[in-house]
Chains A and B, each alone.
Chain A
Amino acid sequence: MRLALDLFTILCVSAGGVFFLAATIGMLRFPDTLTRLHALTKADNLGLGLVVLGLLPRMEGVAEALKLVGIWLLALLAAATVAQLVARAALRETAGQPGGPPR
């Protein structure tokens, strides 16, 4: 049982790390602002979710575990609203430029 839980943690946390790597690569390599925004707000929150999932069995009680899930939900909320707001700002900023939307 112990071994299975350890394996679960290692698997989830590693997968989380891969998604953080994906988010960074997208951030650095994607061609324009809006696609980069897309890479950022989805991949890194999946990464954080997998890290949280992997750490859940290591929590001491149900309350601690719920706190961890709450942190992930707050991060999701922040990412979703930030994506909306920053996307509008980016649309206005890059309008008419090469790689941006038409003015």
Chain B
Amino acid sequence: MTALWLLDLCLVAVILAVALSAVAARDLFAATVFFVAYGLLIALAWVRLDAVDVALAEAAIGAGLTGVLLLGVTARVHMEARTPGPGRGMRLAIGAGCAAVSVALAAAVLSLPVPAPSLVPAVEAAIPATGLGNPVTAVLLAFRGYDTLLETLVLLLALLGVWSLAPDRLWGGRPGLRHRARPEGTLAWLGRLLPPIGLLVGVYVFWIGSDQPGGAFQAGTILAAVWLLAIMAGLSDAPPVRSLALRLVLVAGPVVFLGIGTAGLFVAGAFLGYPPAAAKTLIVTVEAALTLSIAATLALLVAGAPERAP
């Protein structure tokens, strides 16, 4: 259909223009807003590439978390004393390094074999054993369980890295400043209205994940975003990082995943294996625990290092 070609052409043109503007814009705030816009356009591109799972993740991350994180950082950079930027030589070196990565990536894409090697037939043959309808979830939770398990651990490590930026006397305290907003104001109103809807949408995206695009990561991101909204609206406070309840939620996902994976050694004959009769139930259990842990981890990553003494 020629109309789709036209649309793709428009999409690529707008994406390139926005990407170049984000890099070239002199104004820091403008560059940040361009980057937020870029994330939204990339979500559209993933839909056109028929990767709706990725589009969902990009939409949630781009609209919900990256914007909050980067705009917060921009505001802080304005507030704090201006440190001198990199010199001309350093800038040239950074530019050359980025250009080299881009050229290498382009060369890699251009030298991909045609037709590309594919494991699609293998996945299609094995998917009935998992009881799932969404091949992406089957790959993430069953066929490549190792990757997903390690990714959840990487997220936790990243959070530990952020926390360790706190000075010793603040260790164990609450991240960020206490947010305030007038209780009868617009922001507090939005903060009361949106989180319940977000909770509903998050559970929905988690639940359909076994049969349609969706799943733990997308749902966790949505939950993290609405939690941050409640914090920014001054309705709830970020928990102190020494809180045992918080830490239990953070490790719940990886622990349940590891536990069920280890049990697989005995009941299914392989680490991270599932007995076919119970595969779907076990996968949904792992996903539920992962959703909670991912939500808490992402929200705290955005909230930052402890800034208030415990």
Contacts and interface: CB of A to CB of B under 8 A. Distances in A.
Interface in A44-103: 74, 77, 81, 84-85
Contacts of B197: 74
Contacts of B186: 81, 84-85
B241 interface: no
Nearest to B204: A67
Contacts of A84: 186
A47 B293 CA distance: 39
A56 to B, nearest CB: 20
Contacts of B194: 77
Interface string B171-207: 0000000000000001101100110010000000000
Interface residues of B, number: 7
Contacts of A85: 186-187
Which of B186, B187, B197: most chain A CB closer than 10 A? B186
A19 B189 CA distance: 29
A77 B193 contact: yes
A77 B193 CA distance: 10
Contacts of B190: 77, 81
A77 B190 CA distance: 8
Which of B187, B190, B194: most chain A CB closer than 10 A? B190
Nearest to B181: A85
A84 B186 CA distance: 7
Nearest to A84: B186
Contacts of B193: 77
A85 B193 CA distance: 16
Nearest to B191: A81
Interface string A12-27: 0000000000000000
A84 B194 CA distance: 16
A77 B186 CA distance: 11
Contacts of A81: 186-187, 189-190
A28 B90 CA distance: 37
Nearest to B198: A74
5 contacts: A74-B197, A81-B187, A81-B189, A85-B186, A85-B187
Given A74-B197, A81-B190, 9 more contacts: A77-B190, A77-B193, A77-B194, A81-B186, A81-B187, A81-B189, A84-B186, A85-B186, A85-B187
Interface of A: 74, 77, 81, 84-85
- What 10 A-B pairs have minimum CB-CB distances, sorted nearest first? A84-B186, A81-B190, A81-B186, A85-B186, A85-B187, A77-B193, A74-B197, A81-B189, A81-B187, A77-B190
